[in-house]
Every structure is written in structure tokens, then in C-alpha cells.
Chains A and B, each alone.
Chain A
Amino acid sequence: MAPMIDPALFDQLKAKIEEDATVRKELDQIVDELNQHVSFTQGILSRIHSTPRSKYPSLAPQITQGISSTKATISKLSAYASNYPYYKYNHKWTRTLQDAITALLLSSWLGFPSSPSPSSDAVVSEPGNLLTPEQVGSIFAVPINLKDRDSFHLTTEEYLLALVNVVDELSRLAMNSVTLGDTSIAVQIAGFIKDLHAGFQVLNLKNDILRKRVDSIKYAVKKAEDIVYDLSLRNLIPASAKAAEGESAAQ
């Protein structure tokens, strides 16, 4: 009579489970490393709240460095994770990757270069440039929104969730930059956030995490608009920004 359990079965199952555990451990390590770089970048980026824009070039080198080491670790993660089903382990890094995208989007919008430029390393261009998912993918050198093969990539959700974080961070910056005496960027941020808010309204959201996060944008919009209101009430809006604001505020 055949035995109840095929004698080879235990070893076979055990080997599979152990392989899975090894992969998880390895991924944990890479994600830890990624986390360090992302936290570093975010930490430096948080100084924008206390640094006047004229001093931004002093932050640029470290931000650029943070992003490039983030990128290096993402390549490592991508190379390793691509050996395994993407969505089996995606939950391990998705939060960290979102934070990495947030940092990249924010620094780019503020005009920090994402890679050290050969000419001069203190370039901080004009703010206002939102990277598209494709651009984020090409800077991090990973594919986006893959469909035809099972490999590492950035997902649409990750980009959108990161963008929500950017909005939140910028609404905070609008306030702090006014404190630092820079009113024009506050006005610019208000316009940008309103545009993004309109953009998010285009999405058909289900009752999931993205919906929950996107719902918070309206508070950022309100915060930014309150700041603009305070400024305009006191005639503090610079003439150049006024024209721009007048445009986007026209309902």
C-alpha cells in the first residue's frame, strides 16, 4: 500500500519554503540599505523648510548624492528582485520606493539636479518641473508599469502615492517659505497643488489605500489657499506671482 505521504514531499516543501525565506532575508537587507539612502535624502530635503531659496545651492550636492546612492541601491534591488515573481515580494519595498520617488519628485520640482552635472555642481534651476512616471523610471533606470514580463518596475500606484506625499510636503513648504520671507514660491506652490488636485480628480478611485491618501490632498489645497489668502489680504504677493496666481485662481 502506498504510504500516506510521498517520502520526498517533506524535503521538497521544506526546500521551497527555505528558499522563500532566504529571498525574503536578502530583500530585507537590500531594502534596509535603500531605506538608509532614502532617509538621508529626505532628511537633507527637509532642510528646505528652514533654508531660504537663495541658499538652496548649498543643499544641492548632498541631495544629488542621496539620489544617486538611492538609484544605485534601486538597481541592486531591481537586479535581485527580478529573479522572482514581482508581486510576491513587492510589499517589502513598495513603501520605501514610494519615499524614494517622493524625494526625487520633490527635489526635481524645487530645481535640484538629480545627477551631478559635469559643468557646475551648484545648479539649482527654477522650480516647477514635475517629473512624469516615465522620467522617474529613466532617472532610477528601471522600467515603469510593466505588463508583458514579470520583472522589477515602478507601479502606477507607487508614483501616485509618492505624488500625494509631494503635495503634502509642498503645502508645508508654502507655509515655511512665507515665514522665511519668500512669498512668491508660496503662491507658486498653491497653483501647483491646485492643478494636481484637479489631476487627481480625473482618477476613478476604488476604496483602497490610494483613495484614502488622495482624499488628504484637499487639506493641502486648503492650507495653500489660506496662505495665499493671508498674503493677498496684506498685499504681500509679489507682482510677478500675482499675474500667475490670478490666472490659476480664476474659477
Chain B
Amino acid sequence: MSGFKRDFNGNAKKREDRPKPPPKQVAKNQYTPMFEALRDELDEHHDRRERIIKASRDITGLSKKIIFALQRVRKIEPNLPEKIQSEINTRLDDISKLLITIAPEIQGLNRYRYARSLMCLEELVEALTFAHYLKTQTLITPQQLVPIMQELAVRQAAAEDQVMTDVNDSTPAAPTPKPAPLTVDLTEDDYLFGVFDLTGEMMRFATTSTALTGTMTMATGSSSSSEKDEQPRTIVEDMHELGSLLEMLPPSGSRIQWEKKLDVTRQSVRKVERLGYDRTIRGSERPKGWIPDLADQQQPDDE
């Protein structure tokens, strides 16, 4: 991960036995033992927090990369393009490894204790919901996320077991009772704020895919238009539905944060609305690949 220090002779120092800061020279008195005990408590907490924050930062980065990859998708269909899917799988593998390392630290009591250091989960939910939308054109429910998180908890655990048994395969593979893998639970706020961010991603997706494919109805359309009587839903409708869902919910968590997120969502809905309008009114006039400049309202017709 990060670099390591070398000693005077240039040999790498082990990080494992990172020495506690040298004991400060303080006069011992009757309260010293108590403070020493309290110090150990605080150290444990700080160390754990630091480990979580480190993993969280990496998970956030990986989730963002998944989202970028998903933004390269052009249409909604049950199977993502192979290249993109395989990139996402690698990222998810990495995320799974990280989640496994911190999962024991954020069980039960500690789940909310470190909730603020776990903003990565919001980002992960955003990536997962977005992937789900691109595949099914529906909003994933919290229940549907549970098996995905469970899968992430075991995904790389299996691989690690493999390594472990390879290392000490001299010992006969005793059927060690495997403890149930610890899953990282998502809180309601992780889900809600992830969904808020999803609207932004949908807006970006709608803009690029409309511009590049020249159709607004990129929703399902081509792939699953078996039911001919039913007009495929467009992303504009989806955005409207999602927008009203979020508007109707009573604010959860910090009110200020909620309002801010809601405001961004409203803007995204407006942008997609405008896209839909543009497509309807002059869509056919535009050559494929022409990118509408939403910032400029006084766009002269390209003729």
C-alpha cells in the first residue's frame, strides 16, 4: 500500500511492529494506571478508525471507477458489454478484498460508530444501483442489495482460503469449521443517499447516450421489445418517478444534507426533461452524434 521506512543500513523496517510512540516521560502517580488503561482503549479505537478510513478511501475510488465504466454503456440491456462487465468484476473483486478486511471491525456496535468513516458504502450503493438500472431499468431495493453485499463478503474469501491452504498444505486439510462470513450491513442512509447520487449518474448517462445514439428511448427498446403493444419506457419517465419518490419521502439523517441532495436531484430531473423535449421536437433533424449544448438555451437549429 504505502511506502515503508528503512533503517540506517537500508533494510526495510517491518511495519507490523510499529512501535507505540515512546512512552513519554511523565511522573507516575496514583492515576497513571487508570490513564494507561484509558490510553489503550483510545489507541484501539484510533487504530481501528484509521484502518477503516484507509479501506474506505480505496473502496470509494474503486466504486467511482465502476461508475465511470458504466458510463461507457450506451443502452439499457440485461447484459452489459463484456469488456465493461469484466472491468467491473475486477473492481468488485478488489472491493470485496477490502470489505473482508474491515468487515470484522464494523459489526454490531461499531457499524454506526464508524458510519462517518464509511462513506464508501454510499458510493458502492451508487455503483450497484446504477449497474442494476442499466441492466433492468429498475431501481434496486434494499432487499435486493442484501444478497449482493453477502456475495461481496464471500467473493474473495474463497480465494484467500485457497492461498492459505496452499501455504500450509503439509497439514492435512482438517475440516476447519468455517465461521460464517461477516457481511457489511448497509444502513438506510447508505441506500437513500446512494439512490440520490444515482439520479446524477442517470442524468449523465441519458445525456451521453442520447447524444451518441440519437434516440431518447434507449430504455430497453431494442433488446426486449417483445411486447410490442407496450411502449418502452424512457429514461425521462424513470427520472420523473425517481424524482417524485425522493420528493415524497420525509427527510432522513441531516436535513441540510438531504435538502442539498434533493436539490441536485431536481436539477438532474430538469436536465433530462429538457433532453426529452429536445429529442421530441427536433430530434429527427439532428444528425447522429450531435451533442446538444444544454447550457445554451438559444441554440440555433443546425441546418
Q: Which residues of A contact B (CB under 8 A)?
A: 1-6, 9-10, 12-14, 16-18, 20-21, 85-88, 90, 130, 132-133, 145-147, 149-151, 156-157, 159-160, 195-196, 198-206, 210
Q: How far is the CA of A132 from the CA of B33 in the complex (A)?
A: 11
| Interface residue ranges of B63-118 to A (CB < 8 Å) | 108-113, 115
Min distance, Cβ B50 to any Cβ of chain A, angstroms: 9
B residues near A2, Cβ cutoff 8 Å: 136-138
Residue of A nearest to B28 (CB): A198
Instruction: Please give me the 4 A-B residue pairs with the lowest Cβ-Cβ distance, nearest first.
Output: A87-B112, A199-B35, A87-B113, A150-B109
23 contacts between A and B (CB under 8 A): A2-B136, A4-B242, A10-B245, A13-B249, A16-B188, A16-B252, A17-B252, A88-B112, A88-B115, A133-B34, A145-B41, A146-B109, A151-B109, A157-B42, A195-B30, A199-B32, A199-B34, A200-B35, A202-B35, A203-B35, A203-B39, A204-B42, A204-B46
Selected from A3, A13, A133, A205, the residue in CB contact (under 8 A) with B188 is A13
CA distance A199 to B28 in the complex (A): 8
**Do A17 and B249 touch across chains, with their CB atoms under 8 A apart?**
yes
Is B39 touching A6 in the complex (CB atoms < 8 A)?
no
Interface 9-residue window, one of B5-13, B171-179, B230-238, B281-289: B230-238
A-B contact count (CB 8 A): 124
Partner of B250, one of A18, A90, A159: A18
Residue of B nearest to A86 (CB): B109
| Shortest CB distance B22–A (Å) | 11
Q: Is the CB of A203 within 8 A of B249?
A: no
Asked if B170 is at the interface of the complex by the 8 Å CB criterion, the answer is no
CA distance A159 to B24 in the complex (A): 22
Q: In the assembled complex, how far is the CB of residue B8 from the closest CB belonging to chain A, in whole angstroms?
A: 26
Q: Is A14 within 8 A of B249, CB to CB?
A: yes
Whether B21 is near chain A, meaning CB under 8 Å from some CB there, is: yes
Tell me if A149 and B42 are in contact (CB < 8 A): no
Known A-B contacts A6-B141, A145-B41; the reply to A21 vs B29 at CB < 8 A is: no
Whether a CB of chain A sits under 8 angstroms from the CB of B16 is no
A198 CA to B138 CA, complexed, in Å: 61
Quick one: closest B residue to A3, CB to CB?
A: B138
* B24 and A202 form a contact (CB under 8 A): yes
